[in-house]
Amino acid sequence: MFCWHKALRPIVALAPMAGVTDASYRQLIKKIAPEVVVYTEFLSTDAIHYGAKKTLQMLHFDAAVERPFIVQVFGKDPEHFLSAAKVIEDLGADGIDINMGCPAAKVVSSCHGSALIRNPDLAAELVHSTKKAVKIPVSVKTRLGWDRVETLIPFCERIIAAGAEALAIHGRRYCDKFSGSANWEPIYALKQALPHIPIIGNGDIASAADAVSKIGNLDGVMVGRGTFGNPWVMAEICEALHRKADSCQLSAISFQDKIPFILEHCELAVALKGEKRGMLEMRRHLASYVRGQPGAAEMRAQLVRAEKIEDVKAVLCV
């Protein structure tokens, strides 16, 4: 059974991202960097409770490839958290993570995500309901605070007391959304206050050098937007953190060497969602993959209209 306290240190995790971290992307990341802990897109506990077909399909994972596999959920109804947690455990997931950090207006207006920072009683109740329903570990991803970082430590102490076994902290407040630079200093202070709790830092990591410079006293790092168009950065981060490599000495993979991975990503997406939907959702990834390459604008214009894997091969001159 997976346990946050026994996970390989430093922990390197792929951040849960809506519309991005589906099974095809997670499996690609695991092929590139097997040590990485992967999370699902954030899923509604209400939808899982009521058996919504689309959401249940998003719980699909390849146990041979994706472990440890963490399902991230959001919501506000403790009873729905309890029933959803049982479904997730029965499907074989290694852990459940509760989203208490999403700043999207639609999410917050429904009292989900970052809104829970302002309601620590409900936040603690959701953790407690989830934890009492399952044996697998329960963790929480949140932000520095709503509009003040001073609330971070007491808020986290409250959810740890309710049963959370690990924390991932994004280095911005709710009011910051994704603007400005991530502030990791309050996360370091949180680790000092809770030395026995695995704490992972998140925010503005786009390279191995960023991970090395930011990890400080933390148990690990979580990378999200920095992987767009560059999932290979996860291998560089693992190399730098796990083997203490000089991040400046890591050899960059050539674009030609990336092409087989790009095509495999397409194949995984098509296998998971069918050709039409799979290729439609791949377009945003394909546009990112060619960023910075000679002739990128022309390639991007063609790739965002790709309907088949053969179309991608033609553009990439395979």
Which residues are designated catalytic?
A: 102
Torsion over CA of 211, 216, 222 and 225, rounded to 10 degrees? -50
* Nearest alpha carbon to residue 9 among 247, 310, 221: 221
Q: Please give the Cα distance from 268 to 195 (Å, whole number).
A: 40
Using an 8 Å Cβ cutoff, are 19 and 248 in contact? no
Find residue 39's DSSP bridge partners: 70
Cα torsion 196, 207, 114, 42: sign? negative
CA distances from 132 to 135, 156, 275 (A): 8, 19, 41
* Nearest alpha carbon to residue 162 among 201, 197, 133, 130: 130
CB-based burial label for 109 (10 Å; 0-12, 13-18, 19+): exposed
What is the phi/psi pair of residue 83, to 5°?
-70, -40
> Can you list the positions of beta strands (E) in the chain?
11-14, 37-39, 43-44, 69-74, 95-100, 138-143, 166-170, 199-202, 220-223
